[in-house]
């Protein structure tokens, strides 16, 4: 999973192709719990490019996207938001897969 490096990169990615953005932070325990399952999820859903967004580095982006809890996921396809799985609750592997399959 690549890491977001700038607001401009977010805008470019969001508007070009199919991407799932994962909002997370180093200190987030629930984020660490799902970390080991993410490579398998990325491999299973190769139609999407997965991008990690560090909540602490991009707090303004979180506010703009109404992401007030982490870990959270937002999916885009060529600028159109396909769906979001945004909450402060811990996510299971099945919940994440169900979210992606519902897009």
Catalytic residues: 28, 31
- The 8-class DSSP code of residue 13 comes to H
User: What tokens appear for 91 in the block?
Assistant: 């996510």
Distances (CA, A) of 90 to 9, 14, 15, 24, 43: 27, 25, 28, 12, 21
CA 64 – CA 47 distance, rounded (Å): 26
| Cβ neighbours for 57, distance < 8 A, ≥ 6 positions apart | 4
- CB-CB contact of 21 with 73 (8 Å): yes
């Amino acid at each position: 999973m690549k890491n977001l490096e700038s607001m401009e990169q977010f805008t470019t990615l969001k508007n070009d192709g199919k991407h799932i953005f994962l909002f997370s932070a180093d200190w987030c325990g629930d984020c660490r719990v799902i970390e080991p399952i993410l490579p398998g999820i990325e491999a299973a859903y190769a139609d999407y490019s997965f991008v990690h967004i560090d909540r602490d580095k991009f707090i303004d982006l979180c506010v703009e996207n109404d992401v007030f809890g982490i870990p959270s996921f937002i999916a885009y396809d060529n600028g159109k938001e396909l769906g979001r799985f945004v909450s402060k609750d811990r996510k299971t592997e099945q919940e994440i897969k169900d979210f992606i399959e519902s897009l």
